[in-house]
Amino acid sequence: MEAATVNGRCAPGFEGVRAAFEENFRAGRELGAAVAVMLDGEPVVDLWAGRADADGRPWERDTLVNVYSTTKGMTALCAHLLVDRGELDLDAPVARYWPEFARAGKEALPVRWLLCHRAGLPAPREPLAEGRAYDWEYVCDALANTQPWWEPGTAQGYHATTFGYLVGEVVRRITGQSLGTFLRREITGPLGADLFVGTPAAEHPRCADMVGQLDEALFDQRYPDLPNPPVHGIADHPLAPVTLALRYVPIGDVNSAAYRSAEIPAGNGHATARGLAAVYAALAGGRLVGPATLEAMRSSQSRPDEPDLTLGAFAPEGRGAAYRWGLGYMLNDRGQAGPNQRAFGHGGAGGSYAFADPENGLAYAYTMNRFGGGTSGEDPRSRALVAAVYTALAEVRGRT
C-alpha cells in the first residue's frame, strides 16, 4: 500500500519516528493519525497524516479526535492538582467532599480507591438507559446510591466509564467547576494545549470520526455466556466486571454532537497529539505539581501479580492478567512506554496513548481514528513509534 503523505516535522536524529509513522500507513494500519514528542519541554516530533473520516476529509494539524480512556490521565491530573494545593486528601473519605456518597455503606471509602480502580463501582446497580450517560447529576446520584460490587479495597477492576464521574464529582464538589471546565481553566488553557473534555460545538468541525468502534459482535463472540443486556444476579458471574464496566453505562455514538459536547471524563476527551504531549511535558518538567505529588501519582497501588478484574479478561495471550495501577495512571511494567520503568501515562480503547518519562524529560502522545487493539498502550502502531522514539533518544543523547 502506498504511504500517506506525512506532514509536520522531526528534529534531527528523530527521523526514525517519521519512518515508523509512515510504515504504519504503508502497512494499512491507519486511516488518520498523529504523533507528538516533546523533549525537555521542546517539540522534537510533530507529525500527522491520513484522513479524518471515511469520506476522505484530510487530517490537519489541528484535527481533534476522541481519545477514549487516554482522557483518564487528564482527569486524574485535575485531582492531583488539588492534592498539590492542599485542597484534596487522598486518604480522606470521599464523603468528606461529596456527602451523598456515604450511602450504601460507602461512608469510609477513601478518595485513593477511586483513582486506582479499587472502589468496587464499575457501574451503577441498574443499567442506564441510552443517553443517560450525558446527564452528569443523574449518573453521580446513581453511583452515590450504589452498593459496591465487591468489598472496596480488596480487588482492582478497571472502572472503564465510572472513573470519570467519581473523580470528576470530587473535583466539582471542591472547586464548584465541572471537570472539563477545571481542566481547561487550570491546565490546558494556560498551557495552550488543544484538549477538551466537553468539546464546544464550535470545535466539532475539526473533530475526526472514529472508524470501527467497540465491536459488540466481537464482544458477544468472545463472551457468549454473558447476558446482554445485563440482568440481576450477574455479579456472581466470573466475568461480571467486564460487562458491568462496558455495558451498564452505554455512551452511544462517539461521532455524534451529543457525545462530543458531553463531559464523560473517563473516555470522551478530544485532543490533538500535540495537546496531550504538551500536558505530559509540563508534568514531566515539574510545572504542574511538585516532586512529592509526582512521585505519588506513579506509585503502585496494586499488589504483586494482582489481576485486574476487568482488563484481565482482555490480556494478550501469554501476558497474564496482571495490571499495575498508580493513582489514576497505568504503570510501565510492560514496557509500552519505553525502557524507563518509571514512565507513566494512560491509553485509550482503539489505540491512543500518552505518557510522561520524567527521568528523560520526555513526553509522548499518539492519536488515531482507526480503531485498533488494546487500551493500555500495547497497540502495535504505538509500540513501533515508542521504540523509534527511544532509539532516537539513545542516538541523540548517547544513552537510553
Is residue 178 part of the annotated active site? The answer reads no
Residues in contact with 12: Cβ distance below 8 Å, sequence separation at least 6, in sequence order? none
- Cα–Cα distances in angstroms (integers) from residue 372 to residues 270, 339, 385, in the given order: 17, 23, 15
d(CA 298, CA 347): 15
d(CA 252, CA 258): 9
Residue 346 DSSP SS3: strand
Own/partner pairs, 295-300, CB within 8 angstroms, 24+ separation: 296/80, 296/83, 296/90, 296/327, 297/76, 297/80, 297/326, 297/327, 297/328, 297/329, 297/344, 298/326, 298/327, 298/329, 298/331, 298/342, 298/344, 299/326, 299/327, 300/324, 300/325, 300/326, 300/331
C-alpha cell at 128: 442506564
- List the catalytic residue out of 69, 178, 302, 376: 69
C-alpha cell at 379: 497497540
CB-CB neighbours of 143 under 10 Å: 25
d(CA 356, CA 377): 13
Q: Looking only at Cα atoms, what is the longest distance across the chain? A: 59
**48 touches 367 (CB < 8 A):** no
d(CA 353, CA 346): 6
Q: Strand 353-357 to strand 344-347: parallel, antiparallel, or no bridges (unpaired)?
A: antiparallel
d(CA 22, CA 3): 6
Q: Which residues are catalytic?
A: 69
